[in-house]
Homo-oligomer: A and B are copies of this chain.
């Protein structure tokens, strides 16, 4: 746990000025960009006046916002989202001061899973209400089932196939019950964790094109349909190297990489963001979960002839203290053997193992090639054959011989 929230702030406006001579205007809202005239209209929110600024190149990095519910009572005082550091402070302050006994989290993605751990640690009775069957639904069901078991073992109540209809509020404006098609649930706090939506309103108003995902469409230079307008981060799409299609993947490291490319090119450089393979990792109670590439469902939807292989193995040599069971699932093309995705779950050694599969995806490797990789073996860190090699070896037997 990070005790001091200040540590989460990488650089303040003052440091930007001091270190790089970059002026950061906070509490300013850009209301209009004229990409022909290269001028923009900005409202100084503190002083309440409008100014105009001109530019040579512009980078739209408007980010994303939490998806909100528009249901009766959904703007109650005790309804929170978690996107910004301030959101985090707000939730912590509420928990510290109001001492809620119960929390309901709507949604079952990464934020939900990370926050249910935080609530349980603070002693709250914690419910997750989710419209689907299993949490972390971008993973394959076998993996999601293990996550479901873990959170329930740790005391979280998981209400599946649940559609929220409304919130009952008291006189003070606090939600006291969540009403759903699965029943009525009393609560002292609601966290809406239904993912994020890209902030594209300014881009749209400027005439910048959006992709099918609803986020800003960019080329590999992070350029929009206007020559001098770039975009980067959670407001725009990324190119998925496995599916060959743009996706909306609002993740910190991707935003960071896109921002560097957009900035460098806006400043006259010539660099490229090659795309992503969809690698990510998270921790939920005692489990590490990691995935890269496409899940079975997504790969199938993209028209691949999908085959999978799932294995159970150990994180270290069996006789080593600290060795823990882990599960590896590979998704691959039945005809060519090309790896399409990988998922792993276990109590240790998962998050840092997934990246070998990320490299394999970047390189378009087949499961037979993965099975032959020379990995470092040492009993404190891995079994003689790494779980990934074992999964790949077994997977390669399912590839159709040509």
Q: Which residues of A contact B (CB under 8 A)?
A: 1-2, 4, 7-8, 241, 251-254, 256, 274-283, 288, 290-292, 318-321, 349, 351-356, 358-360, 362-363, 365, 369, 372-378, 380-382, 384-386
Contacts and interface: CB of A to CB of B under 8 A. Distances in A.
Nearest to A353: B352
B352 A381 contact: yes
B377 A321 contact: no
A375 B349 contact: no
A20 B319 CA distance: 23
A290 B376 contact: yes
Contacts of A376: 279-281, 290-292, 351, 354-355, 358
A292 B374 CA distance: 9
Given A319-B7, A320-B2, A372-B274, A281 B378 contact: yes
A258 B254 CA distance: 40
A358 B377 contact: no
B375 A253 contact: yes
Contacts of A319: 2, 4, 7-8
A116 to B, nearest CB: 16
B378 A358 contact: no
A164 to B, nearest CB: 29
A372 B257 CA distance: 9
Contact of A358 (B7, B256, B375): B375
Contacts of A384: 252-253, 256
Which has the most chain B C-beta neighbours within 10 Å: A241, A278, A374? Answer: A374
Nearest to A354: B376
A373 B351 contact: no
A129 B385 CA distance: 34
B280 A377 contact: yes
Contacts of A279: 374-377
Given A292-B376, A362-B374, 12 more contacts: A2-B320, A7-B319, A253-B384, A274-B372, A277-B374, A282-B378, A283-B380, A283-B381, A290-B376, A292-B374, A359-B363, A362-B369
Given A358-B376, A374-B276, A374-B278, A381 B321 contact: no
A354 B359 CA distance: 12
B373 A359 contact: yes
21 contacts: A1-B321, A2-B321, A4-B319, A252-B377, A253-B377, A275-B374, A280-B376, A280-B378, A281-B377, A281-B382, A283-B378, A292-B376, A349-B352, A352-B352, A353-B355, A355-B356, A356-B358, A359-B363, A359-B373, A362-B374, A363-B365
